[in-house]
Amino acid sequence: EDKVVQSPLSLVVHEGDTVTLNCSYEVTNFRSLLWYKQEKKAPTFLFMLTSSGIEKKSGRLSSILDKKELFSILNITATQTGDSAIYLCAAAGNTPLVFGKGTRLSVIA
Amino acid sequence: DTAVSQTPKYLVTQMGNDKSIKCEQNLGHDTMYWYKQDSKKFLKIMFSYNNKELIINETVPNRFSPKSPDKAHLNLHINSLELGDSAVYFCASSPYGALGNTIYFGEGSWLTVV
């Protein structure tokens, strides 16, 4: 059965800290890995990764995929209170996105 | 303009009732989905339609019936609601050949069964 596992499940940091969120996956005919940020409403898209070793960046967020070891990380540098959210990792294979349970990030001032 | 819109946003109803949630997307996508998010924020796919045709039907009670009148709409009808149906239901869409493509979510419909 396809599965995606995220760690840690929750994390509390202070503003300015750097965090790394982990995502491992087992998906038949893997095609891509996606990261979403979920605040109060729907998940909003952050990154889609299809190739190993190529870092994607958007401001203070970056992500990289390792297709050999079947994992991805999401880094957030210089965290701000607005980064507080649930970060969802999802993998696409034979079926549409299989989601992990998310990492709940709380950034305190 | 909202790309994927769902109605109602909030719904409180009694056990045993029948209710529907509507979804529309204006992105021109061919594929639409229903996901259920439980109280622990775990998102799980329920159904997927491609151009009005059902392509994914996960293990979901047959009280749940999706209906796609056209490729821009995918409605979810739930019969005989149970307490365990309380959750947030997300509609989503993606371009054809969705596997591996970005899926765009609606804002969710918060269903509470009392």
**pLDDT on residue A95:** 65
Report chain A residues whose CB lies below 8 A from the CB of B98: 96
At residue B114, does pLDDT exceed 70?
yes
Which of B25, B74, B94, B101 to substitute to test the interface with A, most A CBs within 10 Å?
Answer: B101
For B103, the closest of A50, A97, A104 (CB atoms) is A97
For A41, the closest of B31, B98, B108 (CB atoms) is B108
What residue in A sits closest to B38 (Cα-Cα)?
A: A101
∠ Cα A43 A72 A19 (to 5°): 75
Contact assessment for residue B114 and residue B11, using Cβ atoms and an 8 Å cutoff: no
What's the rounded Cα separation, in Å, for the pair B23 and B73? 6
Tokens representing A17 are: 């800290």
Which is nearest to A65 in space by CA: B100, B108, B34, B4? B100
What's the rounded Cα separation, in Å, for the pair A13 and B111? 32
> Which ranges of chain A have pLDDT less than 50?
none
For B40, the closest of A44, A98, A101 (CB atoms) is A101
Which is nearest to A34 in space by CA: B31, B105, B4, B36? B105
Contact A96 B48 (CB under 8 A): yes
**pLDDT on residue A65:** 96
pLDDT 10s digits, A81-104: 999 999 999 988 876 678 888 999
pLDDT 10s digits, B41-75: 778 889 888 888 887 777 788 999 999 999 899 99
Which of A35, A41, A97, A106 to substitute to test the interface with B, most B CBs within 10 Å?
Answer: A97
Residue B98, exposed/middle/buried by CB under 10 A (0-12, 13-18, 19+)? buried
Max intra-chain CA distance, chain A: 43
Residue B1, exposed/middle/buried by CB under 10 A (0-12, 13-18, 19+)? exposed
